[in-house]
Amino acid sequence: MNSIIKTIRPAFLSLLVFTVLGGGVYTLSITGLAQVFFPNEANGSLVEVTLEDGTQQVVGSEFIAQEFTSPEYLIGRPMWETNLSPDSAELSELRQERIEWLTTMDPQNEQEIPADLVSGSGSGVDPHISTAAASFQIERIAAERNIDQAEVEEIIDRHTTSRFLGFWGEPGVNVLMVNLDLDGLLD
């Protein structure tokens, strides 16, 4: 019995020490550093708007997509299952339904529908679309809101991120921020 305790004791102490270090000290120190250097990101990059009555309300996060389906809004990527095989019949059917929905929403638009408007992102909640996908929707949004296309383009440009370090990745348009700006809810 004594030899079992001698064998188990170091393992148990190691478990205890590494649980405290990895689960407590490391987690708290990283959270503390994030709060000091990146407070907005550490708290979820929440978007808060001022309503007509003067109250503040959180309407979402800059980094999590929301689904917009009304024609006066910029439409983001579809929010559907992301674990379907690229050649699955179910995914093909979802894409076809999405193409038909976009065509019905904007029947006079004869441009080719950008791929990111008919394909889900890896996470399923990507808040950005390509500049091509945003440009595809400018005419419809302007007509629905009865505003000039240049005004819609300007709003989209304000919420377009450039390539990381000037060469890495592609520019992206934050759908939530554009839609809030279109509604006049951003300062």
If asked whether residues 23 and 79 sit together in one domain, one would say no
CB 132 within 8 A of CB 172: no
Strands, E, within 65-114: which ranges? Answer: none
If asked whether residues 19 and 109 sit together in one domain, one would say no
Identity of the residue numbered 90: E
Nearest to 46 by CA among 178, 184, 176: 176
Question: Above 80 in pLDDT, residue 15?
Answer: yes
Asked if residue 187 is part of any domain, the answer here is no
Task: Give the residue numbers spanning the domain of 147.
Answer: 50-182
pLDDT digits 0-9 by tens, 97-115? 999 999 998 888 989 999 9
Asked if residue 131 is part of any domain, the answer here is yes
If asked whether residues 78 and 132 sit together in one domain, one would say yes
pLDDT digits 0-9 by tens, 50-74? 888 888 888 888 888 889 999 999 9
The first and second tokens of residue 178, run together, are 């554009």
Asked if residue 63 is part of any domain, the answer here is yes
| Tally of structural domains, the chain | 2
19 falls in which pLDDT band (50, 70, 90)? very high
Measured distance between the N- and C-terminal CA atoms of the chain, rounded to whole angstroms: 71
Question: If residue 60 lies in a helix (H) or strand (E), which one and from where to where?
Answer: strand 56-61
pLDDT digits 0-9 by tens, 125-179? 889 999 999 999 999 999 999 999 999 999 999 999 988 887 888 889 999 999 9
The first and second tokens of residue 96, run together, are 């076809």
Residue 145: what pLDDT?
A: 94
